[in-house]
Amino acid sequence: MEELVEQAVQDYYGEEIAWCYGCGRLNEKGHHFRTGWLTPEEKTVTYYQPKPEHTAIPGFVYGGLLASFVDCHSTGSASLALHYKNGHELGDGTEPPRFVTGSLHVDFLQPTPQNVILKAIGMVEEIHPKKWKVLTEVYAGDIPCAKGEVVAVIMPATFLKNK
């Protein structure tokens, strides 16, 4: 049975910023990670089923996928948290803020089995009005496989003007 996030923050990003390989809904070849609330306004969650091409060695997922999973889950989590702090809910007609990665740190705890749905659980902490720290744990079923810390930074308005 595949786990689902009913309402994902990535579903509400504007079209000009919905192209990330990890979480962009408009990137046809991307992973399409989708982040939502696990427990309202406390913990976030993203699920993903690794594909055969995500193999490190037969039967196990390569670490780059896990790093991407932590990264996109964390920036989406920061977006959810700030959107909520600003008095909004997903689907209320207000576009959530978009975050980019300021720093990414991942610890790999043990090999990650290939044929199991991955689950990222995040906790978000504001450390500056423009920076949020997200602590993420990745599980394959009940097995803790990785943990990460991301400092997510609100995407500067000038970002889109410079493309």
d(CA 65, CA 73): 12
Query: Minimal CA–CA distance to 134: which of 155, 153, 154, 150?
Result: 150
d(CA 158, CA 150): 22
d(CA 70, CA 96): 19
In a domain, 122, yes or no: yes
Q: What is the pLDDT along the chain (163 residues), one digit of tens a residue?
A: 457 899 999 999 999 999 999 999 999 999 999 999 998 778 999 999 999 999 999 999 999 999 999 999 999 999 999 999 999 999 999 999 999 999 999 999 999 999 999 999 999 999 999 999 999 999 999 999 999 999 999 998 777 665 5
In a domain, 48, yes or no: yes
- Find the domain containing 126 and state its range: 9-160
Number of independent structural domains in the chain: 1
In a domain, 124, yes or no: yes
CATH code for the domain in which residue 125 is found:
3.10.129.10
d(CA 20, CA 24): 4
Q: Whole-prediction pTM value?
A: 0.94
Query: What is the enclosing helix (H) or strand (E) of 85?
Result: helix 63-85
d(CA 146, CA 137): 6
